[in-house]
Copies of this chain bind each other. A is one copy, B any other.
Amino acid sequence: MNPDFEKFSDGLVPAIAQDYQTGEVLMMAYMNEESWNYTLESGNATYWSRSRGKLWKKGESSGNVQIVKQVFIDCDADTILIKVEQVGGAACHTGRVSCFYHERKDGEWVTISEPLFDPAEVYKK
């Protein structure tokens, strides 16, 4: 049993990254077979960037890698869940812990967290 990369024509499987200590859902991105294999071999979460059309070694430029602690797959093998240690404390490109920082309250979207760092500084390379 492995992720079913053949299920959809794009060869991609969604991968949820969750903080291995707090349980907070940090982000969701996609893996193809290459990034899946690279994730397992390197121990660092590696995705496939749909926008850039290339392997996305999370944290490669910022140093804020995701160290994989546990790897799960769902019942029909079309979704991956990884529990990670988020180096630098922030998974989101905005500098926030989690990408899910908009919460819907009373019919409106509220920003529920602030950046830990200035992404312009961290991603300046």
Q: Which residues of A approach B to under 8 Å, CB–CB? A: 1, 14, 16, 18, 22-25, 27-28, 40, 70-77, 79, 81, 92-94, 96, 99-104, 109, 112
Contact = CB atoms under 8 A, between A and B. Distances in A.
Contacts of A93: 75
Contacts of A1: 102, 109
Contacts of A74: 27-28, 99-100, 102
Shortest 4 CB-CB contacts between residues of A and residues of B: A23-B23, A72-B100, A74-B99, A71-B104
Contacts of A16: 16, 25, 28
Contact of A109 (B24, B73, B94): B73
A123 to B, nearest CB: 14
A102 B72 CA distance: 5
Contact of A72 (B22, B76, B103): B103
Nearest to A110: B72
B109 A25 contact: no
A74 B27 CA distance: 8
